[in-house]
Structures are given as structure tokens and as C-alpha cells.
Amino acid sequence: MSEQHKEHILPIKAYLGVAGALFILTMVTVAVSYINLGGWNAVVAVSIASFKVSLVALFFMHLKYDNKINLFIFLIGISFVTLFIIFTMFDTLRRADIYEIKAKPIKEKAHIYERAPDDSTQQSDAAQH
Amino acid sequence: MNAALEQSYLKNPKGLTSWLFTRDHKRIGLMYLYAIMFFFFLGGVFALLIRLELLSPGKTIMSADQYNQAFTLHGAIMIFLFIIPAIPAALGNFILPLLIGARDVAFPKLNLASFYIYVAGALFAIYSIITGAVDTGWTFYTPYSTESTTSVISMTFAVFILGFSSIFTGLNFIVTIHKLRAPGLTWFKQPLFVWGLYATAIIQVLATPVLSITLVLLILERVFGIGIFDPAMGGDPVLYQHFFWFYSHPAVYIMILPGMGIISETITVFSRKKIFGYNAIAFSSLAIAFVSFLVWGHHMFTSGQSEIAAMIFSFLTFLVGIPSGIKTFNWLATLYKGQISFEAPMIYTLSFLFLFTIGGLTGIFLGALALNVHLHDTYFVVAHFHYVMMGGTVMAFLAGLHYWWPKIFGRLYNETAAKIGAILVFVGFNMTFFSQFILGSQGMPRRYYNYLDQFQPLHAFSSFGSFVLGIGFFVMLVYLVHSLFKGKTPGYNPWGGLTLEWTVPSPPPPHNFDKIPEITHGPYDYDKILVKRN
């Protein structure tokens, strides 16, 4: 084992402290679920969960004390998941947009319909569109 | 028998178990090469069957159901069993450590594990073919894939397993490139094939897990009806497409990036000229790898995806044209005033430049939202991706295979036969697929069993082209196999290359280098160093 990979041993108190924090945060998650925050429900729940994940990654998985490249790689993984979710939400959250476009009358003054006033056949074609 | 062959990795150590349990990257690469060539043959047979069926409207040689299975198997085999592992796992495995002056990859056992996982995945795929094949298309789109009565689960499970093989190779290459470069081989003295493999490896490690998740969700949906892709249960079938293309679009670059790396090698060697714009080519590989993650929605413009998402994905898709264009123009500039010689690897390289440009540009057409509505799911798309995947990646693979063949096997193939084969492949390819651009622009939908009479001349022309292509590959098979038994010995450096693999005997000894070389010059310093062939 090279010198860079020395085992880092945390005092048992630190582990118990992190475990305690995780328990408390779990209770907070449950408690918050009884309060209706509307659209913020998911935001609060995900924030607490993210914080818990960070605790596990930093202390139980030792990313805080490990070579920083490992933290970097971990964050790349997380950022790609985030990217996937955000870009997918560009679709799923805005998908109904297309149905909200109401049929509107053709703008008769629009450039492509400009033509001589006596051209009645084409005008009626345009009106049908 | 010559001395180099007797002392090479091919003969030392001897015995079947020494091959089955080998940790030598060259032997693993070679076993991969045999495996992928087998699947290339199998996928090719399906391709010829499809083209034979489409020779005339209505039933020609198979039923509609069999046709659905044939095109699905052609796609799934070519993508997952041939083209993804072709360059990284076969040629890359063999050449990468030699290129960077290492004795092996960083994790030789993981490398062997990757091969056996590939074999396990391949066996599952064959099991799936025997027990009823699959008729969903290689993309396994829901909702049909959750309802089809064919063996979807075994095929998706095969792809799931193959993904791990790909991840292992990628991880191995990243660590190898970071840690095992010879002294003096700085990042910007690396041959560009190494950059290509590095960019590929990043995508393999980051994107492949998403494919695994997708396929597990699909299997769960099929077996337990969890409803994630089923609108009746609040699910979303388009979500499947997001999941699938988040992997599969970057996977397109897993296929093409190492091919671009090979082209950077061959184009300099056969132009006897330093590469033009080394840094630009190296960074454009990384840029393509990055942008590849942001464009997946362009497969879904007509799937009911929101307009805002379609606009974003369309814009980002155009960005891919920039690094691809940088590469193409740098290769062209490398040719300019070079001392070009037209051996078989160079013919494939020039074919790549010509065909990839057409494939890339038609990709820009398809990325345009309004045009895409008309062209989506037509033969135009089929022609486009065959120009990129076959005209691009396969041509690059063939360039690399011919370029490194003397190094891998210690034998020279018949150059005249190779040129004839290369020209047949080029002509056959264009006959097959250029006609499909016209078919698609006239409205011929892809994956259809039957078609209107008016499309028959072009379909027949395309089918005849595929037969020419098949003959080209048959010629290749003959002269390559012939070379293994009767080929002349090549010496260390048959092409006059400057990179490290040409400093060791052909074929290389088991541990590559007696002494790890120290690097003092760039990989393409033909302006400073006079290299003679052998």
C-alpha cells in the first residue's frame, strides 16, 4: 500500500455522531411530510436526502479524508445524474405547452398573405388555412 | 518460421490454458478480435438477408415477422457485440500499452474479466436468438418491448452484461493512460489514438451505467409491471427514450472517437508529415465526449417531447459539428503537401474522410427541427447513421486492422488484394447507402417490410450494392487468412511509423519492451526525424 493510501481511522464518536445525525434527519423528513408545503414538498425532502447522502459519502465513505481526485470523480457522477434529470425535466415539465396553443385567426396583415386586393381566390385560400 | 514469431506473445507461453487464463493485453485483444469478427460476420449475414428481402416488394425470402427479427438482430449484434468493443477492446487493448511504452494495462485481470463478461453477454444474446429472437428494433422502445412475445428479456439482459465489459475496459484504459506512460511521454506527446481512447473511456465509464439502469427498468416493467413506462399506471413511455438515449447517444461517440484516433495515426504515417493541429485534434476529442452527453433529445423530436426541450437539443446538436469539423479540416491540412502513399490502410483512411463527412453533414440536416419532421424514421436516417458508423467507424477499424495487422500477427497481407478489397468495400458501401438517402428523402420509411413499387429501382440498387460490399469483405477474409499462413514477415516497421509499437519486433514479445523506452520526440515528428521502412 502506497503512502498516499494510508488508512484514515476516525474516532468511534465521529461515526456515532454521523449516525445520530442521519437518524435525526430521517425523523425530520417524516415530520416535514405531515406539513403541506405545496410545490416545496419535494424540494425540502430532496434537500434533506441530499444532505444525508453527503454525510454518508464524506464520513462513512471517507471522501472527506481521501485523495481529492476521488471526491472529484464522485461529483462528476452526481453532476451527470443532475444533468440527466434537468434536461429530462425540460421535456416532462413543459410537455403540455403544445396543447395550450389556441387556434388563432390568421393575421391577415402578415407579410406572406400580402397581395393585391382584387386577388379574391387566393385570399379565400389563405382564410381557409 | 522466423525468430520473432517464435519468441512472440503468440507462441509464449504455449498451451490452451495459457490463452484462456492469460493476462497479456495482446492475447486478450486478439481473443476480442476473433470474437468481434465472428459477430461482424453474423451481423453482416443478417444485413444481407434484409437487403435480399427488400430486393422486391412483398415477400421475397422471409415473412414479415422474420424480417422484424432480422433487422433487430442485425442492429443489436452490430451495435452491442461488434462496433462498441471493436476498436477499444480489440485494437485498443492490443495497441494502447505499446503506444505508451507500457508492458501491460493497469489491471490485467480486470481486462481478462472484461473479455469473459463479454463472452457471457454474447452467449445470452445467442440464447435469445435461438429462443425466438427479438423484434423490437435494437432500441427496445416501450411500450412495444413490454408487450412483444419475443425473447426481449434475454436480449436486454445480454446487453446489460455487455455493458459491464465495456465499463471495465474503459476504467482500465483511464488508469493505464494516467499511470503507465513511459518516462518523457507527456500528455501532449501521446499519439492521438491514445487521446481518442481516453475520451472514449470517459464516456464508457460515465454513460454505460445509465444503459444498465434503463434495461433493468425495462425488465422490471416486463416482469412485474411496475408501470414506470406505462401511461395507464402514470408512467411515461417517452421517459424510456430519455433513459435509452442518454446512454446510446454518447455510445455513438464511443464508436466513432477511437476510430478518429486511428485516422489521426494512419493519415500522418501515410502522408509522411507531422499532424496538423495536434492540440486541436486532442481537445476536440474531449469536446465531442462532453457535448455528446447533451444532445440525446435529438432522437426524440417527433416523439411528443416538449418544444422547448426539442429546441435546446437541436441547438446543442449543431455544436457537435464544430469539433468534428475541426478534426476533419486538420486531417485535410495534414494531407496537404504530404508525401502520400496509397497502401490499403490509407485507402480506408481516405474512405473515412469522404464518408464521415457525408455522414456528419447529413447529421446536421437531421438536427434541424423542421426538416427532421419529414426525414425522421425514413431511410435518410438509416443512410446517415450507416455513413457515420460504417463509413466512419468501420472504415477506421479496417484502416487500423490493416495498419496494425503486421504488428499483431507478424505477417504481411497481399497488398494488391487488399487494395481491390478496399475499393470493392468503398464502391459497395456507397451503392448500398447513398441510394438510401434518396429513398428516405422521397419518403420511404425505415424498418418497413413492404414498399410501393415506385421505390423498387432504388431498393434493388441498394441491395446489389450490399452484395458488392459482401464480396469486398469476402476478398478481405481470403487475403487476411492467406496472410496468416503464407504472408511474408514484415520486420519491425513496415510502414515507417514513429510511434513506439514500431520499435518492437512484429509480433511483439510477451512483455513488449525489454527496457521501458524514454520518449524524447513527438509521435509525428516526420519533419525532424527521417524514418525508413524497416
For residue A5, the model assigns a pLDDT of 52
pLDDT in tens, A33-85: 898 888 888 889 999 999 999 999 999 988 888 888 888 888 888 888 889 99
Instruction: Specify if B458 maps to a domain.
Output: yes
How many other C-beta atoms are found inside a 10 Å radius of the C-beta of residue A83?
13
**B522, part of any domain:** no
Nearest CA in chain A to B316: A87
Give a yes or no: residue B53 inside a domain: yes
Domain assignment of residue A129, yes or no: no
Predicted TM-score (pTM) of this structure: 0.90
SS3 of residue B24 by DSSP: coil
CA distance A102 to A120: 27
Q: Does some domain include residue A127?
A: no
B440-457: pLDDT as tens digits: 999 999 999 999 999 999
For residue A104, name the pLDDT band (cuts at 50, 70, 90).
low
B530 — pLDDT class (breaks 50, 70, 90): confident
**B144-171, pLDDT tens digit by residue?**
999 888 889 999 999 999 999 999 999 9
CA dihedral B363, B367, B369, B373 (to 10 degrees): 40
- Cα gap B192→B197, rounded to integer Å: 9
Write down the mean pLDDT value for chain B.
94
Instruction: Assess whether pLDDT exceeds 50 at residue A126.
Output: no
pLDDT at A106: 60
Tally of structural domains, chain B: 1
Find out whether the peptide bond into B490 is cis, omega within 30 degrees of 0: no
**How confident is the model at residue B527, as a pLDDT?**
87
Residue A107, domain member (yes or no): no
- Does residue B528 fall inside a structural domain? no
CA–CA separation, B144 vs B150, rounded Å?
11
Whether B153 contacts B200, CB under 8 Å: no
All residues at 6 or more sequence positions from B228 whose CB lies less than 8 Å from its CB, including other chains: B217, B220, B221, B235, B236, B239
Mean pLDDT of B316-332: 95
Chain A: closest CA distance from residue B106 (Å): 16
Q: Look at residue B472 in the predicted model and tell me its pLDDT.
A: 97
Q: Which residues of chain A are within 8 Å of residue B300 when distances are taken between CB atoms?
A: 91
- Contact between A97 and B236 using a beta-carbon 8 Å cutoff: no
Question: C-alpha cell of B1?
Answer: 518460421
- Supply the DSSP string of A109-128, one letter for each residue: TSGGG---TT-HHHHHHHHH
pLDDT of residue B380: 97
Distances (CA, A) of B149 to A22, B146, B159, B215: 46, 9, 18, 17
Q: What is the pLDDT of residue A124?
A: 46
Report the SS3 class of residue B345: helix
- DSSP symbol at B378: B
Residue A3 has pLDDT above 50, yes or no: no
Q: Tell me, yes or no, whether A70 lies in a domain.
A: yes
Which structural domain range is residue B283 located in?
Answer: 3-503
Measured between alpha carbons, how far is residue A45 from residues A27, A33, B86, B431, B438 in Å?
A: 12, 8, 45, 58, 54
B247: nearest CA in chain A?
A84
What is the number of structural domains in chain A?
A: 1
Give the chain A residue whose CA is nearest to the CA of B235.
A92
Do A94 and B308 count as a contact with CB atoms less than 8 A apart?
A: yes
Question: B209 CA to chain A: closest CA distance, Å?
Answer: 10
Please determine, for residue A129, whether its predicted confidence score (pLDDT) is greater than 50.
Answer: no
Which chain B residues touch A4 with a CB distance below 8 Å? Answer: none
Q: How confident is the model at residue A102 (pLDDT cuts 50, 70, 90)?
A: low
Report which residue type is found at B356. Answer: F
- Compute the distance between CA of residue B174 and CA of residue B102 in angstroms, rounded to an integer: 14
- What CATH number should be reported for the domain holding residue B329? 1.20.210.10
The fraction of chain A above a pLDDT of 70, given in percent, is: 69
Give a yes or no: residue A24 inside a domain: yes
ipTM value greater than 0.85? no
Quick one: three-class SS letters along B240-306? Answer: HHHHHHHHHHHHHHHHHHHHHHHHHHHHHHCCCCCCCCHHHHHHHHHHHHHHHHHCHHHHCCCCCCC
Cα–chain-centroid distance for residue B20? Answer: 25
pLDDT at A127 over 80: no
Judge whether A76 is closer than 8 Å to chain B, CB to CB: yes
Q: Residue B288 is placed in which grid cell?
A: 465531442
DSSP B445: B
Instruction: Find the distance separating the first CA and the last CA of chain B, reported in whole Å.
Output: 19
Integer Cα distance of B125 and B80 in angstroms: 10
Domain assignment present for residue B513? The answer is no
Residue A2 lies in a domain: no
Residue B178 has pLDDT above 50, yes or no: yes
Contact B294 A87 (CB under 8 A): yes
Are residues B331 and B271 in contact, defined by beta-carbon separation less than 8 angstroms? Answer: no
pLDDT for res A108 = 59
With b for 16 or more beta-carbon neighbours within 10 A and e for fewer, the B264-294 pattern comes to bbbbbbbbbbbbbbbebbbebbebbbbbbbb
Residue B234 pLDDT level (bands cut at 50, 70, 90): confident
Residues in chain A: 129
Angle at B82 between CA B78 and CA B88, to 5 degrees: 140
A91 touches chain B (CB under 8 A): yes
A83 shares contact with chain B (CB less than 8 Å): yes
The x, y and z cell numbers of residue B424, run together, are 470493392
Distance from CA of A77 to the nearest CA of B (A): 7
B456: Cα within 13 Å, side-chain hemisphere: 8
Let me know if residue B461 belongs to a domain.
yes
Q: Hey, what amino acid is at B468?
A: V
Please report whether residue B523 resides in a domain: no
Q: B238, A91: Cβ pair inside 8 Å? A: yes
Chain B residues with at least one Cβ partner in A under 8 Å:
206, 210, 236, 238-239, 242, 246, 293-294, 296-297, 300, 304-309, 312-313
Instruction: Name the nearest CA neighbour of B488 among B423, B417, B411.
Output: B411
Q: Is residue A112 part of a domain?
A: no
Residue A102 at interface with chain B, using a CB cutoff of 8 Å: no
Q: Does the beta carbon of A122 lie under 8 angstroms from any beta carbon of chain B?
A: no
Chain B CA closest to residue A92? B306
DSSP assignment of A47-97 = HHHHHHHHHIIIIIS-TTTS-HHHHHHHHHHHHHHHHHHHHHHHHHTTTTH
**DSSP class of B377:** T
Higher-confidence residue of A102 and B164: namely B164
CA distance A108 to A114: 8
Its domain, for residue A68, covers 10-100
Nearest to B402 by CA among B384, B425, B383, B431: B425
- Of the candidates B238, B293, B313, the beta carbon closest to that of A83 is on B293
Q: For B392-398, what is the mean pLDDT?
A: 97
What is the phi/psi pair of residue B378, to 5°?
-110, 175
Handedness of CA B449, B452, B455, B457 (dihedral sign): positive
In whole angstroms, give the CA distance from residue B170 to residue B204: 6
pLDDT of residue B62 exceeding 60, the answer is yes
